[in-house]
Amino acid sequence: MRNIRVLLEYDGSRYDGWQKQGNTERTIQGRMEAVLERMTGHPTEVHGAGRTDAGVHAKGQTANFKVPEHFSAEETGEYLNLYLPEDIRVTEAEEVPERFHSRLNACGKLYRYRIWTGKKRPVFERKYLCGLGHDLDEQAMRRAAEYLVGTRDFKSFCGNRKMKKSTVRTLFSIDVRRDGEEIALDFYGDGFLYHMVRILAGTLIEVGEGKRTPESMTDILEAKDRQAAGFTAPPEGLCLMQVDYGAAGEERKHQAAGKQRWQA
Amino acid sequence: MRNIRVLLEYDGSRYDGWQKQGNTERTIQGRMEAVLERMTGHPTEVHGAGRTDAGVHAKGQTANFKVPEHFSAEETGEYLNLYLPEDIRVTEAEEVPERFHSRLNACGKLYRYRIWTGKKRPVFERKYLCGLGHDLDEQAMRRAAEYLVGTRDFKSFCGNRKMKKSTVRTLFSIDVRRDGEEIALDFYGDGFLYHMVRILAGTLIEVGEGKRTPESMTDILEAKDRQAAGFTAPPEGLCLMQVDYGAAGEERKHQAAGKQRWQA
């Protein structure tokens, strides 16, 4: 069998997220697996690097799966694009070593959360922005972000209350950038808990609104209680931008470490 | 009464075009007029600079209408944005002299036609690109464009066969630009006939495919017959980018005249 890695972009608006559920028709993974089963004649399991929630988009999701030797990576990518709907697209397809696993081998993921602070969202970006409708103090958000980066127990930022595994993750950096009426938050980390990026975004929005202080981030982390953190920001503002493996991921981590105040 | 000029952007995907028809619900003009009637309590006529077809988009449509003195331009713009659907947005609103008319006073209009030559359209731009699926010879398209600019009878490029008024228009410039797998055609002129931009785009696509020579543009113009020109390119690739008035329009014309081979 050949192990194929694909880079994917999708508009998550009409999907129940990445992960296959009962109704496979409405998940990205389900759609991919249906097309691959059609191509190969066999059930095929697709592993995605990030399990994006319902309504969350991707520009750089990475996935891998096995196909029989007589299908090349190029053919497989073209077949997927032909039969996948227009809101899911393979942008790259290549053969990778047999042991490569897109989720287990990922060492860095970049998620972007986009907020529109103006009154009405720009028409052509409306589905990819969280429409807030008022301005935010981005300096306060930047100061708050400094308290959040590092290797920490993010239990307060985990949307799954029954989480039994470790809630410790490393957040390498959070960049807060303004472009006119848009504020974009870039979260780069080694992995994220259920709803973690959206709860971080919601909490930082509350800081930007003056409802929380930057310093209060320490208390939230220490509480290890979902109730202590802010709201879960809506899914449409979120996009999985990039997944890093091996050398690229390591380099990015070092850059991030040099740029941000670092706490282990 | 106050004369208000607004700049508009809209995603034309789900509309029957700009101009009000029997069913006003599905036209941009109809939607605008319904909101203004709600605001003022009176029927209000909205004049648009360009009568975009069904499915055509706008980033810089200009429109004007009269409202009672006690409504400011700012209030009017905010009211429109509040009650217009999320795929239509007012980006600017200002009071203009009583005699200003957005269509009659326009002296330059810029339409952009975007073609995707790759196999599958990028997900986040899929509704705003014509998906061609194969490459084009853009050098040939550029040479063909030189035969089309100038003040000419564009009867062969008019989709309305019963057109009784003059079919002479001035096309100041056509720019053919490539950005990776996208080819964008910018048409700047003083006015456009029914379907004219889409027939120009379709004809240039056929040149890019090698089905017509650049030199054959002369024969098409001389034929003064719709049958002589190429196909009507689909609406989703088209967007009204900008409408110029007065000094701005004059300056742009001079720039265009200097850049392109010019024939009066």
- Separation of alpha carbons A147 and B65, rounded Å: 52
Contact B103, B47 (CB under 8 A): yes
Cα three-residue angle A112-A93-B117, rounded to 5 degrees: 85
Q: What is the pTM of this model?
A: 0.90
A111 is in an annotated binding site: yes
Q: Give how far A120 is from chain B: nearest CA, Å.
A: 7
pLDDT in tens, chain B (264 residues): 999 999 999 999 999 999 988 766 799 999 999 999 999 999 999 999 999 999 999 999 999 999 999 999 999 999 999 999 999 999 999 999 999 999 999 999 999 999 999 999 999 999 999 999 999 999 999 999 999 999 999 999 999 988 889 999 999 999 999 999 999 999 999 999 999 999 999 999 999 999 999 999 999 999 999 999 999 999 999 999 999 998 665 665 666 555 544 333
Which chain B residue lies closest to A10 (C-alpha atoms)?
Answer: B123
Asked whether this complex has an ipTM greater than 0.90, the answer is no
| Burial readout B83-115 (b: 16 or more C-beta within 10 A, e: otherwise) | ebeebbbbbebeebeeebebbebbbbbbbbbbb
**pLDDT tens, position by position, A124-140:** 999 999 999 999 999 99
Pick B122's closest partner by Cβ from A57, A89, A121.
A89
Contacts with B, A 55-94, CB within 8 Å: 57, 59, 78, 81, 86-89
Residue indicated by tokens 């990776």: B180
- Separation of alpha carbons A193 and A166, rounded Å: 10
Distance, CA of A77 to chain centre:
22
Q: Is B134 on the interface with A (CB under 8 A)?
A: no
Q: Is B180 on the interface with A (CB under 8 A)?
A: no
Quick count: other Cβ atoms within 10 Å of Cβ A26? 15
Q: Where are the beta strands (DSSP E) in chain B?
A: 2-10, 47-48, 57-67, 88-96, 106-116, 130-131, 150-153, 168-179, 182-189, 238-245
Distance, CA of A95 to chain centre:
24
Residues of B in contact with A120 (CB under 8 A): 81, 86, 89
Decide: helix, strand or coil at residue B103: coil
Q: Annotated catalytic, B53? A: yes
Which chain B residue lies closest to A57 (C-alpha atoms)?
Answer: B124
Which residues partner with A108 through β-bridges?
A: A244
